[in-house]
């Protein structure tokens, strides 16, 4: 990749797990009443045919990883587990009470925080409580994020018995200097143990998360991490750029100095080296930052053009409704977004008062919905088109005007009715999506809201 392109396109930009992106939500016209109306509409349209997704945010961690941008509560007091599960199940009840029929669950994902902070008994209580008020869709998929240092075989077996078949382990980097900087000391032996135990238990999709662009991280570190990863051959990999957003996450991302971070040029070399090594090992690039073996459901979803992207990242199938439970979780009705309060005490209070604990959101208008489809197409399929009337919008000629220079740089190909992102352009797909982002174009942020695209 030419340095000139890196310098040209390395700007702050969204990762497009939604459109509109969170900073551009219209909270002034949003209301809990409107949100519930869009949710009920979408539920009635899609529950019987495709089911819904559940994301559960389990925020507790025993120690702080300084690379992490998630909402978390650091504690070693495990008595916090039971009250939290009680609140989450009460929140689920509040949602179920909105619907005329039982929710048909297609996906459950446990994220955090550290889901394996919770005991096996409490995790069983949580999942059993969710399923008590629901049915299971055909081909349902349950997944969770496991910390290699504290995920036990009992965790793996308990969740497997509850229907989980996919697990993701955060690796980040195997180099000790990098691990110290991000406060994530995690020996290879721990990752090897949980990966092998997951296979023994019967998990069919095991994923590892690797990050490039971390403090003190070199090309050699990335090469060594991927070399070690190949010994375990997970079914899929998330290989993504460290999002340095200390202005949002405060001291949690200030465990090192800015000058300790690799330059944009080094980060791009790390990505290109990683992509090359993963390709040699048999991994295929899926969407942005994700790689999978051809035997994994994520690769099959690309072949069948079913790949979807939402606040959980890339998923192998689409659901129109995604309900987020727990503190700070985000829900998506397709026609609207809603985010839960971020404070644990406020969350407990609202749920105890039988109030769905959302504090902000956005109801999509007709233009939002069209642009959302285009950005989803680009992020999931690296292409989009407007050959039908429902995909055309008035500002499209202005959007295409902004893409002419990217086409000249070889990042995409355009014709009268479509765009195709080139292989050269895939690392810049966020930049391409930004051209479609009318709200971003209308009002560029005065302060930096997003991580750098490269």
Binding site per annotation, positions for [4Fe-4S] cluster: 61, 65, 68
* Whole-angstrom distance, CA of residue 255 vs CA of residue 263: 18
Residue set of the binding site for S-adenosyl-L-methionine? 55, 67-69, 112-114, 145, 172, 184, 209, 243, 330
CA distances from 425 to 131, 341, 369 (A): 43, 37, 25
As a whole number of angstroms, the longest Cα–Cα distance in the chain is 61
- Please tell me whether residue 74 adopts helix, strand or coil conformation: strand
Residue 412 pairs in a beta bridge with 421
Q: What are the structure tokens assigned to 169, written together? A: 């382990």
As a whole number of Å, the CA-based R_g of the chain is 21
Strand positions, DSSP E, 244-357:
284-286, 290-292, 308-310, 313-315, 321-325, 330-332, 336-340
CA distances from 107 to 18, 141, 143, 294, 323 (A): 18, 5, 8, 21, 10
**Does the bond joining 20 to the residue before it have cis omega, within 30 degrees of 0?**
yes
Q: Which residue has the tokens 């793996």?
A: 156
* Whole-angstrom distance, CA of residue 390 vs CA of residue 18: 20
Residue set of the binding site? 55, 61, 65, 67-69, 112-114, 145, 172, 184, 209, 243, 330
- Please tell me whether residue 243 adopts helix, strand or coil conformation: coil
* Whole-angstrom distance, CA of residue 374 vs CA of residue 376: 5
Q: Identify the sign of the CA torsion 396, 317, 320, 123.
A: negative
């Amino acid at each position: 990749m030419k340095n000139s392109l890196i310098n040209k396109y390395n700007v702050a930009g969204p990762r497009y797990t939604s459109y509109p992106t969170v900073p551009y939500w219209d909270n002034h016209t949003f209301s809990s009443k409107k949100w519930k109306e869009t949710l009920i509409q979408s539920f009635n349209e899609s529950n019987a045919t495709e089911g819904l997704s559940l994301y559960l945010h389990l925020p507790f961690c025993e120690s702080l990883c300084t690379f992490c941008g998630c909402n978390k509560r650091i504690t070693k007091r495990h008595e916090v587990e039971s009250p939290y599960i009680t609140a989450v199940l009460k929140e689920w009840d509040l949602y179920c009470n909105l619907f005329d029929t039982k929710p048909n669950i297609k996906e459950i994902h446990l994220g955090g925080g550290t889901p394996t902070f919770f005991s096996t008994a409490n995790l069983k209580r949580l999942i059993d409580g969710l399923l008590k008020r629901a049915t299971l869709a055909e081909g349902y998929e349950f997944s969770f994020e496991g910390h290699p240092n504290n995920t036990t075989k009992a965790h793996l077996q308990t969740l497997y018995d509850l229907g989980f078949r996919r697990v993701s382990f955060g690796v980040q980097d195997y180099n000790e200097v990098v691990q110290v900087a991000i406060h994530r000391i995690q020996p290879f032996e721990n990752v090897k143990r949980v990966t092998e135990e997951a296979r023994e238990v019967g998990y069919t999709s095991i994923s590892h998360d690797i990050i490039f662009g971390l403090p003190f991280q070199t090309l050699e570190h990335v090469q060594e991490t991927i070399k070690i990863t190949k010994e375990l051959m997970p079914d899929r990999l998330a290989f993504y750029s460290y999002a340095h957003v200390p202005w949002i996450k405060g001291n949690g991302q200030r465990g090192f100095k800015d000058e300790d971070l690799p330059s944009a040029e080094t980060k791009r070399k790390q990505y290109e080296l990683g992509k090359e090594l993963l390709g040699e090992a048999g991994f295929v690039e899926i969407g942005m930052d994700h790689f999978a073996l051809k035997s994994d459901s994520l690769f099959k979803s690309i072949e069948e053009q079913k790949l979807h992207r939402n606040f959980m990242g890339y998923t192998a199938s689409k659901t129109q409704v995604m309900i987020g439970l727990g503190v700070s979780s985000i829900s998506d009705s397709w026609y609207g977004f809603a985010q839960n309060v971020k404070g644990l005490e406020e969350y407990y209070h609202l749920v105890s008062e039988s109030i769905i604990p959302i504090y902000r959101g956005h109801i999509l208008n007709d233009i939002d919905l069209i642009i959302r489809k285009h950005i989803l197409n680009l992020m999931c399929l690296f292409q989009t088109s407007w050959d039908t009337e429902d995909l055309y919008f008035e500002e499209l000629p202005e959007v295409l005007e902004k893409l002419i220079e990217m086409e000249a740089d070889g990042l995409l190909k355009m014709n009268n009715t479509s765009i195709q992102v080139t292989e050269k352009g895939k690392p810049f797909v966020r930049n391409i999506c930004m051209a479609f982002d009318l709200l971003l174009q209308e009002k560029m942020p005065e302060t930096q809201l997003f991580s750098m695209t490269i």
